[in-house]
């Protein structure tokens, strides 16, 4: 009986937690019918469980699991968020196109070309109306008169031979 008790006492916790095979359970239950000591141990376990169960259940009811889950979710999101530079690096590592070093001089050349050409396109020039249209004018055979219309959209170079010829009316 003593040998049987020592065997069953090892199985008693498993029996209490219902984690045993049918064969083991039959063995324990058969032993419990005749062994007062093992019955007492099992009862102590049940009393201890009852003592612990009530405050734990009360604590669980009072706990705000929604709030805890929100905190966990926020933590997961923060862990997943990468900086722009990390994202770029990851993308460059993934993309086989940029793993080729041949792109480095090509991109450098393109950058230089853009740096040279872009200022040409955006170069500010003086207003057209402020710029002179006639650089020079000469005539060996005729008199020359130059004038501009009031809106400066038309510049006139007038060739005439002398006072007798047709001259501007205005």
Point out which residues bind other proteins (CB under 8 A).
100, 102-103, 105-106, 109-110, 113, 117, 120-121, 123, 125, 128, 131-142, 144, 149, 152-161, 165-170
- Is the CB of 76 or the CB of 113 nearer to other proteins? 113
Q: Cβ of residue 70: shortest distance to other proteins, in angstroms?
A: 52
**φ/ψ (deg, to 5) at 155:** -115, 135
Q: Cβ of residue 95: shortest distance to other proteins, in angstroms?
A: 17
- Is the CB of 55 or the CB of 162 nearer to other proteins? 162
- Is the CB of 60 or the CB of 129 nearer to other proteins? 129
CA–CA separation, 28 vs 42, rounded Å?
A: 11
Burial 98-131, CB ≥16 within 10 A → b, else e: eeeeeeeeeeeeeeeeeeeeeeeeeeeeeeeeee
Q: Cβ of residue 123: shortest distance to other proteins, in angstroms?
A: 8
Q: Cβ of residue 92: shortest distance to other proteins, in angstroms?
A: 18
Q: Cβ of residue 74: shortest distance to other proteins, in angstroms?
A: 47
- Is the CB of 21 or the CB of 140 nearer to other proteins? 140
- Residue 60 tokens read as 């669980």
Helix (H, G, I), strand (E, B) or coil at 148: strand
- Is the CB of 83 or the CB of 125 nearer to other proteins? 125
Burial 6-17, CB ≥16 within 10 A → b, else e: eebeebbeebbe
- Residue 16 tokens read as 């209490």
């Amino acid at each position: 009986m003593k040998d049987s008790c020592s065997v069953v006492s090892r199985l008693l916790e498993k029996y209490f937690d219902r984690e045993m095979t049918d064969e083991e359970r039959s063995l324990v239950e058969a032993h419990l019918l005749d062994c007062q000591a093992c019955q007492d141990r099992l009862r102590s376990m049940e009393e201890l469980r009852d003592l612990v169960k009530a405050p734990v259940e009360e604590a669980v009811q009072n706990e705000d699991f929604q709030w805890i889950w929100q905190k966990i979710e926020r933590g997961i999101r923060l862990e997943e968020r990468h900086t722009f530079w990390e994202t770029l690096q990851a993308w460059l590592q993934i993309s086989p196109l940029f793993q080729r070093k041949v792109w480095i001089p090509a991109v450098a050349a393109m950058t230089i070309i853009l740096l040279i050409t872009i200022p040409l396109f955006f170069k500010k020039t003086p207003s057209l109306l402020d710029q002179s249209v006639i650089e020079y004018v000469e005539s060996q055979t005729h008199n020359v008169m130059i004038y501009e219309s009031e809106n400066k959209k038309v510049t006139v170079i007038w060739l005439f031979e002398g006072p007798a010829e047709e001259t501007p009316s205005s």
